[in-house]
Amino acid sequence: MAPVAATTLPEVDVCVVGSGAGGAPVAWECARAGMSVVVLEKGPRYQARDFVPHDEILHCRRDFFVPFERDEPHLLARDGAATAARTRFGWTAACVGGGTMHMTGLFFRLRPEDMRLRAALGAPEGADVADWPVAYEALAPFYEEVEDYLGLSGADDELPAEWRRGRAFPLGPVVAHPLKNVLMDAARAQGLHPFTTPRAILGAPYRGRAGCTYCHFCGSYGCEVDAKSSALVTWLRDAEATGHCEVRARAMAARIETDADGRARRVVYLTPGGERVQPARVVVVACTAVESARLLLNSASAAHPHGLANESGLVGRHLTFSTGGTVRGVFRYARSPVPEAVLRSPGMFVDASFQDAYVARGAGLPYPKAGTVQLNLMHTNPIYHALEVALETSPPRFGKALKDALRDRVRGGRTIEAESFCEFLPNAGTRVTVDASVADRFGLPAARIDLRHHPADLAASRHLQSLAEKVLRAAGADPVVVLHPGEADYLQHGTCRFGEDPAASVLDPNCRAHETKNLFVTDASFMPTSGGVPPTLTIMANAVRVARFLVAESRAGRL
């Protein structure tokens, strides 16, 4: 049977590939400027009703948000291993709205030193640290604009001076569990300066969206009342309301094609109904650092034999994650110095953070850049807890021993989890390539992730863990368990680094490809350094900045 010819659609001004934190703000800015926009998203589009009930098996254990490895594998090789394993590692989400649909909404800004890390602290041997081509001051107005647009909840007067707004957040802090005060006092007693974590969660109704219902199922779940400021219920909803933006779900971008002048002109994508071709004057890629690199590398052609925008050979290089370590403190009802009435409070948010070791000069670290510690009540997922309790002994617990241990964890007290977000130094051992020998369910070569930590990463993460451990012990937690540090694979950056020099970067300071002047990348791929916070707010702020540039260039006839 002869193959069905691809359907070529009418040209639009902008085709955005990816609908999450990096793509959705661009769609909104271009659509409200009157440009015709198509957003392609490989996954489904969920409705609020799809998030009820809070089913851990459906949402966290199946392919509701993240594909099964048998269908869409990533390949992972650690520490120089020649063989890579099939894995779900490096997937953030595959649905309209991307990872913002199930995020916990921790919205920290980067700090000024993040943009000039090499100038301020140098680069240790084995790390390829580069300064940003834009300063914090250039991004600050966009941070503030995004915070106001989304309706962030927080307390500006508590924040570190380096990134304080100077005026109140749109909404005050979400309602906190009383353990927050206990932890804040314990941190202050250790000489630290805790603050309320800014959240992209509405503590009250805002711009037509309802406030949080405090359901205890936030991170890893979608929000059925739209209190979580996902890309879907903010940027995309507003973009579609203009009449100039169309979001196409289940549209898997296979490759970007160029014209005779080397400009990106067509996105070829796959749907359940067959292959489609979307011509566009401008193409914006925002699929996550891993998947954006994969798309550009899979767009190799006779004109671009090494992949699109990759004459420098840098697409896929400088991949970073967020180095992280966890410390858990248990406040047992039977013996905690904290009153049982406080511990049994129904609150769910603690939202206490500190950044006293963001830059850790004098701490004896091999590189004096650490990051952020954020404390919160541990997630209530029952299957997650059962697996942890079963596997924390050797041989694993089973039967009555497992039931007793699980009952003790769930009913014996409250557990605070201190999560750290730490600098991941870019290095030659961490990158993305594509492996033509392994294909996903679309028949496209899979992304291979090679991962190696610089020794300074883990040392800094352990330092943050030691600070968190002291806080939890001072607050009265017993036991306190320190887990081995690693990385958060869903916090990823750097595969299309931006900079002034085309030989040392993929994108220019406005996130436009040096080689392809109508191609932009607006997820965290642009970031030369990871910073010591989750990047979601930075991705959105930078996407707005880049979109404004894109609109201005289009109006001037330069695209």
pLDDT mean values, one per 10 residues, the chain (559 residues): 78 98 98 98 97 94 97 98 97 98 98 97 97 98 98 98 97 96 98 98 97 93 97 98 98 97 97 97 98 98 97 98 96 95 93 97 96 94 90 92 91 95 98 98 98 97 98 97 95 98 98 97 98 98 98 95
On whether the CB atoms of residues 117 and 124 are closer than 8 A, the answer is: no
Identify the three-state secondary structure at position 24: helix
460 vs 107: CA distance, rounded Å = 22
pLDDT at 177: 96
Query: What contacts 341, CB < 8 A, 6 or more positions away?
Result: none
Angle between helix 455-475 and 179-189 (nearest 10): 110
Number of H helices, E strands in the chain: 12, 20
263 vs 265: CA distance, rounded Å = 6
Q: Determine which helix (DSSP H) or strand (DSSP E) holds 546, and give its type and residue range.
A: helix 536-555
Bridge partners (DSSP) of residue 326 are 419
pLDDT at 3: 58
369 vs 320: CA distance, rounded Å = 15
Bridge partners (DSSP) of residue 497 are none
pLDDT at 396: 94
Is the bond leading into 534 cis (omega within 30 degrees of zero)?
A: no
Burial class (CB in 10 A: 0-12, 13-18, 19+), 121: middle
pLDDT at 379: 85
On whether the CB atoms of residues 6 and 274 are closer than 8 A, the answer is: yes
Q: Determine which helix (DSSP H) or strand (DSSP E) holds 170, and give its type and residue range.
A: none
How many CA atoms lie less than 13 Å away from 435 in the CB half-sphere?
Answer: 22
522 vs 187: CA distance, rounded Å = 37
pLDDT at 74: 98
Predicted model pTM: 0.97
Q: Please tell me the total number of residues recorded for the chain in this structure.
A: 559
pLDDT at 216: 87
Neighbours of 102 (CB within 10 A): 25
pLDDT at 392: 86
